Amino acid sequence: MLSKIPLAKLDQLNTLGFTAQASWLVQAEKPEDLPEVFDFASSQALPVFPLGGGSNVIFQGNLKAVVLQQKPHALEWPEIEPDNLILKVSAGYSWQQLVLDTTSKGYFGLENLALIPGQAGAAPIQNIGAYGVELADTLQAVEGYWLPEHGQPAKFDIIAAKNCVLGYRDSRFKHDWKGRFIITALQLQLSKQAEPRLGYADLQQRLEEKQQQPETANLPLPQLIAQVVTELRQSKLPDPAKIGNAGSFFKNPVISQQQADELLKLYPKMPHYPATNGCKLAAAWLIDQCSFKGAKRGSVGVHDQQALVLIHTGGGTAQDLLALAEEITSTVKSRFNILLEREPELVVV
C-alpha cells in the first residue's frame, strides 16, 4: 500500500535544508509497489523523482513531480553466520546503520565507509567512498526496476556490479541508466577474514590508540575501525542535523601526470595521489589555496574546518549556494587551470 502526501514539504528531506515542495510525496512499502507508483504518476501527468536521504541533492525551487521514497526492510541474517556472506540490503536502509550492523558482527567491507550520510540505494549511483575504500569493493549486484522504454515492458531485474561501470564517484546510474532504473536493493559481499584498509596515517594512529584502551580493545576490529572513521569524520565535517550541507561538494580532480608534474614544481607540498588515468589532486587543498576556507556569502559559505564542504546556515536558496560554487570554481580554474566538478545533483523538475 502506498502513502501519498500532496504538496509535500521537502525542507527536512534534504540535508542542505533548502525550502522546496513536491507535487506529491509517495512512500513505497516494498519493491512490488513500484508499478503502482508509476501508474499514479502517469495519472497525474508527472515524472517520478526517487529520493533517498537527500544528502546529495540541491533542490532549486519546487518539484513538479512525484517524489518517491522507499521504506527500509530489516536485514536478514542467517542463523549461523558464515565467514563470507552475501547480504541483501533494501534501498531505504540507513547507510550508517548498515555500517554499524555489519561491523558489530565482525564483518569487514564497510568499516571505512562509516558516517557517510544517506540510504543504501543511493550508494551505487555515486559509488560512495572514503579512506581508500569504495562501494565497488563489496558490491556484488544491484536489484531494481526497469521502466518501460522503446516498446519494452517494465520489469524487475538484478544487475551484476561489473555491469554498473562503477568509477570514482560515478556509475551508469548517473548516465545512460538515469531515470530508467530504480534501485530497490543491494547485494554486498562481506567477510570476517578480510584485511583492513589502513593506508591513511591518521586512521592507523587512532586505531592503535583505541586498541590500547580497555573499553574498546576487545571490540571486533571492523567495529573499531568504523568507530575511528566516525570520530575522524566528525572532527572534520559538520553534522547536517546542525549545519546544512551535502558533504563533499566537489570531486577530487584527476589530471594528467604531465600537468601534475608542472604544478608540483610550483607547489611541492601539493597533495597528490596516483589514479588510473593520471594523478588525483585534493580539491579541498586547491580551494584552501584560494583562501575560501571559512568564507561566508550571506546564509551560505565554506566550512571553516573542511574547504570541500559548502554550508547553508538557513534562509538561503540554491541560487546563493550555486553562485558561491561558481565563484570557487572560476577562481580555482584561473589559478591552477583545473575545473572542479560538483558532486551533489542539482534537482530541477
Block means of pLDDT (10 residues each) for the chain, 349 residues, are 93 96 97 97 96 95 96 96 97 98 98 97 96 96 94 94 95 95 98 91 91 88 97 93 95 96 97 91 97 97 96 96 98 98 91
Q: How far apart are CA 144 and CA 164, in angstroms?
A: 12
Domain limits, CATH 3.30.465.10, in the chain: 73-236
169 is catalytic: yes
Provide the 3-class DSSP secondary structure of residue 33. Answer: helix
Q: Are the CB atoms for 320 and 298 separated by under 8 Å?
A: yes
Quickly list DSSP for 177-216: TTTTEEEEEEEEEEESSPPP---SHHHHHHHHHHHTSTTT
Main-chain dihedrals φ then ψ at residue 248, nearest 5 degrees: -65, 120
pLDDT value at residue 89: 98
Non-local (6+) Cβ contacts of 283 within 8 A are: 248, 250, 251, 252, 253, 308, 340
CATH 3.90.78.10 for domain 244-347, yes or no, is yes
Non-local (6+) Cβ contacts of 331 within 8 A are: 290, 292
Q: In what order do the strands lie in the sheet with 139-146?
A: 84-90, 181-191, 139-146, 155-160
pLDDT value at residue 157: 98
Which of 180, 197, 297, 343 is flagged as catalytic?
343
Q: How far apart are CA 345 and CA 349, in angstroms?
A: 12
Domain limits, CATH 3.30.43.10, in the chain: 3-70
Q: Are the CB atoms for 280 and 274 separated by under 8 Å?
A: yes
pLDDT value at residue 36: 97
Q: How far apart are CA 24 and CA 3, in angstroms?
A: 10
pLDDT value at residue 201: 84
- Please name the CATH architecture into which domain 3-70 falls: 2-Layer Sandwich (3.30)
Q: How far apart are CA 128 and CA 59, in angstroms?
A: 21
- Residue 59's identity, in one-letter code, is F
Q: Bridge-partner residues for 90, per DSSP?
A: 185
Which of 169, 171, 172, 206 is flagged as catalytic?
169
Q: How far apart are CA 344 and CA 349, in angstroms?
A: 15
Q: Are the CB atoms for 234 and 240 separated by under 8 Å?
A: no
Provide the 3-class DSSP secondary structure of residue 285. Answer: helix
Q: How far apart are CA 12 and CA 20, in angstroms?
A: 9
Distances (CA, A) of 29 to 49, 83, 119, 326: 16, 31, 15, 40
pLDDT value at residue 216: 85
pLDDT value at residue 218: 86
Q: Cell for 220?
A: 571486533
Top-level CATH class of 73-236?
Answer: alpha beta
Quickly list DSSP for 313-342: -SS--HHHHHHHHHHHHHHHHHHHS----B
Domain limits, CATH 3.90.78.10, in the chain: 244-347
Altogether, the residues listed in the chain come to a count of 349
Q: Are the CB atoms for 242 and 128 separated by under 8 Å?
A: no
**Residue of 244, 236, 241, 232 whose CA lies nearest to 344:** 244
pLDDT value at residue 97: 98
pLDDT value at residue 215: 86
248 is catalytic: yes
